[in-house]
Amino acid sequence: MRATAQQPQRAPDGAPVHYERHRPEQTTLYRLVQQHAASFIAHTEASTGAELSRFIKDEIEAFLECGILAHGFLRLRCGECGHDKLLAFSCKRRGFCPSCGARRMAQTAAHLVDRVIPHVPVRQWVLSLPIPLRVLLAARPELVTQVLQAVQRVVTLHLLDAAGLKADEGQGGAVTLIQRFGSAANLNIHLHCLVLDGVYRRGADGSPAFIDAASPTDDELHALLQSVIERLMKLRTRRGVLVEDMGQTYLAEPDADGEGACTLRPLQAAAVAYRIAFGPRAGQKVLTLRGAMPREDRARQPLCADIDGFSLHAAVRVEAHDRKRLEQLCRYITRPSLSDERVQLNAAGQVELKLKTPWRDGTTHLVMSPLEFMQRLAALVPRPRLHLIRFHGVLAPNAKLRALVVPQWSAQPQEASEGVVATACEAEPILFRSGRISWARLLKRVFDIDMHTCPNCGGGELKIIAAIVERPVIEKILTHLGLDPQPPPRGRAREVVQD
């Protein structure tokens, strides 16, 4: 999260004003996108002869406006001390914006712990997929739902069995986060399922009782992964979406929806395989820097099964009372794909992307040209309307038992709780630069955690008094406050230099 400092100033109407002093435009990531977005779009479209998908262009555009006061802001006033605060609009996108990603992580994790996950033991089940399946799911995200159903079905049957119940005698519950990236900001679609580690059975009076399930053994876990794979392979043959070639599996048919397929597919395929999609080094591996000692290959881990590129990991379990650790786990699985600190430029003008943890061979950084880096960012952008958080079993939105098992104080419907889920799950089509934007739409463009308490007196409640979206008014206020009234300039499309 960015540090913010507050400085009292006066607005043109004399009101004392605080404004966020963090400057997204000064981060390396912002500057890279600012300078190279136009070149990246032009070059991708020239290489493929097709238009880059609208949702990727929108994401880039929204990121460049995120947190920039010159693109408009809310004016908030403290009910106690009368000070004003300016709050720039956030992009709230899910692809690569580090600041929106960090805030979404904090909100989603708090929401899951406070209002969704019952006070029972929880086990994390992580399913990773072989590279060809990652490519398939990137191109056809609707198939993720079927993968999820297969995993849920297999794990729930296991839990019922481990609790000594028949299939119709109890119900499980889970929250799944569909994570779209790995530690190198590579596209790596995998599933983190937080599964209640047992099942609910309804008593004679209708109230649900939780029955703990015994932990799976390594052999059981292996068998569970085997049945997940069998269910998925049935899908494959039924739908004919994959073909085998040279020992690898590839997509057999073009994108069903067609939109942007020619530009998206190579970007996504390159991003999963750590390769470069277009440009002078197309098809080559991304360069790496080794700064750490190679690690010994770890011995086989407990509760981690590997079969043919699939892996299923189930070693992490959180006790019912350990809500703090549960929240840490929720934060970990909802973390953003990038943080500002991990993106730096070297003296040669190349991007050095720091890995979250060094690879086993000692690699600490990936080195890319700015355009190669832009390719990777583009592949991280999820399609609009793709829900990345799913609820299953007793936690499904329409489940009969839901209200009886979620943490008690949230049993009454709360607007805010649903709001957070909507924030985390849904893409928000935003009309940029449209003259008339509704209040509801404007409010969707800020995070509510910014609006609670006054930075001046620390206790007053902030209320929105105006939304400043018209250029002349923006310019007048920012100029008066001694801030730059102009949005940061954009780089123009350039020829790609051969290196």
Burial 71-100 (b: 16+ CB within 10 A, else e): bbbbbbbbeeeebbbbbbbbbbbbbbbbbb
> 382 vs 460, which CB is nearer to Zn ion?
460
Q: Please state, in angstroms and rounded to a whole number, the distance separating the CA atoms of residues 38 and 33.
A: 9
Q: Based on CB atoms, which residue is closest to Zn ion, 198 or 460? A: 460
Closest to Zn ion by CB, 187 or 462 = 462
Smallest gap from Cβ 411 to Zn ion, in A, equals 33
**Cα–Cα distance for residue pair 298/313, rounded to 1 Å:** 15
Closer by beta carbon to Zn ion, 66 or else 69: 66
Quick count: other Cβ atoms within 10 Å of Cβ 40? 28
Does residue 377 contact residue 267 with C-beta atoms inside 8 Å? no
Q: What is the largest CA-CA distance in the chain?
A: 74
- Tell me whether residue 78 or residue 175 sits nearer to Zn ion (CB atom): 78
Which residue lies nearer to Zn ion by CB, 174 or 185? 185
Q: Between residues 152 and 456, which has the closer beta carbon with respect to Zn ion?
A: 456
Q: Give rounded-to-5 percent helix, strand, coil for the chain.
A: 35, 20, 40
Residue with tokens 């309804």: 202
For the CB of residue 78, give the shortest distance to Zn ion in the complex, in Å: 3
CA nearest neighbour of 99 among 374, 428, 338: 338
**Using only C-alpha atoms, what is the Rg of the chain?**
24
Residue 62 or 150 having the CB closest to Zn ion: 62
- Using DSSP's 3-state secondary structure scheme, residue 4 falls into coil
- Name the residue nearer to Zn ion (CB basis): 371 or 454: 454
Residue 97: phi, psi to the nearest 5?
-65, 115
Give the strand pairing for 16-19 and 84-88. parallel
- Please state the closest distance from residue 114 (CB atom) to Zn ion, in A: 24
Task: Tell the smallest beta-carbon distance from residue 458 to Zn ion (Å).
Answer: 7
**Closer by beta carbon to Zn ion, 63 or else 200:** 63
Binding site for Zn ion (CB under 5 A): 66, 78, 80-81, 90-91, 97, 100, 454, 456-457, 460
| Cα 421 to Cα 16, 91, 354, 424, distances in angstroms | 35, 17, 31, 5
Q: How far is the CB of 453 from Zn ion (least distance, A)?
A: 8
Smallest separation, CB 454 to Zn ion (Å):
3
- State which residue, 82 or 291, has the beta carbon closest to Zn ion: 82
Distance between CA atoms of residues 224 and 301, nearest Å: 17
- Minimum CB separation of residue 341 from Zn ion in Å reads 16
Q: How far is the CB of 248 from Zn ion (least distance, A)?
A: 37
What phi and psi values does residue 298 have, to the nearest 5 degrees?
-65, 145
Shortest Cβ 113–Zn ion spacing (Å): 24
Q: Which residues contact 267 (CB under 8 A, 6 or more apart)?
A: 44, 277, 375, 378, 379
Euclidean distance between CA atoms 219 and 231, whole angstroms: 19
Tell the smallest beta-carbon distance from residue 92 to Zn ion (Å).
6
Q: How far is the CB of 62 from Zn ion (least distance, A)?
A: 7
> Which residues make Cβ contacts (< 8 Å) with residue 148, sequence separation at least 6?
176, 178, 191, 390, 392
CA distance 367 to 346: 9
Nearer to Zn ion, 41 or 68 (CB): 68
Instruction: Determine the 3-state secondary structure of 323 from DSSP.
Output: helix
Answer yes or no: are the C-beta atoms of 14 and 8 closer than 8 Å: no
DSSP 231-262: HHHHHHHHHT-EEEETTEEEE-S--SS-TTHH
Alpha carbons 74 and 72: distance in angstroms, whole number: 7
Least gap, CB of 337 to Zn ion (angstroms): 12
CA distance 13 to 8: 14
Q: How far is the CB of 276 from Zn ion (least distance, A)?
A: 26
Based on CB atoms, which residue is closest to Zn ion, 73 or 391?
Answer: 73
